[in-house]
Amino acid sequence: MEALRWLIPLLALVVIFVVGGRAILSLSSRRSEEPLLCTTCGGQTDMPQSQIRGSRVIEIILWLAFVIPGLLYSLWRQSTRQKVCPTCGSATLILANTPEGRRRAEQLSKGKG
């Protein structure tokens, strides 16, 4: 199997690249964040959850079956990462410490009361 000679080091390189990239992304997103306001439920948080689109199962299948589509799929999923509200799961978080954020917080608290 001549092809395996270059395929295995290439696979190892790609895995290191993807795992390393994810580690860097998760480290940077864990830093203390600015308070965020959810415009859907009015919840405030400084620890938004991050959510990515796509399926881990499809990702694994693509990786096992074809390396390049697997890599592309992984990269696409990483690019769709977004911050979501830990209360309701909506991706409608805005910065709370802005005039807009304060205005929306006021509106939402009035709407509830």
Does 84 contact Zn ion by CB under 5 A?
A: no
Six-digit token string for 97: 């410490």
Query: What x/- string results for residues 17 through 36 when contact with Zn ion is judged by CB under 5 A?
Result: --------------------
Q: Which is nearer to Zn ion, 62 or 93 (CB)?
A: 93
Options 25, 88, 94, 95; binder of Zn ion; rule CB under 5 A: 88
The radius of gyration computed from the CA coordinates of the chain, to the nearest angstrom, equals 20
Does 94 contact Zn ion by CB under 5 A?
A: no
Six-digit token string for 1: 């199997």
DSSP state of 94: E
Options 36, 37, 38, 62; binder of Zn ion; rule CB under 5 A: 38
Does 39 contact Zn ion by CB under 5 A?
A: no
Does 40 contact Zn ion by CB under 5 A?
A: yes
Q: Any idea which residue has 């859907």 for tokens?
A: 40
Could you tell me if 48 and 85 are in contact, meaning their C-beta atoms sit under 8 angstroms apart? yes
Vertex 51, ends 102 and 55: CA angle to 5°? 160
> Contact positions toward Zn ion, by CB under 5 A?
38, 40-41, 43, 85, 87-88, 90
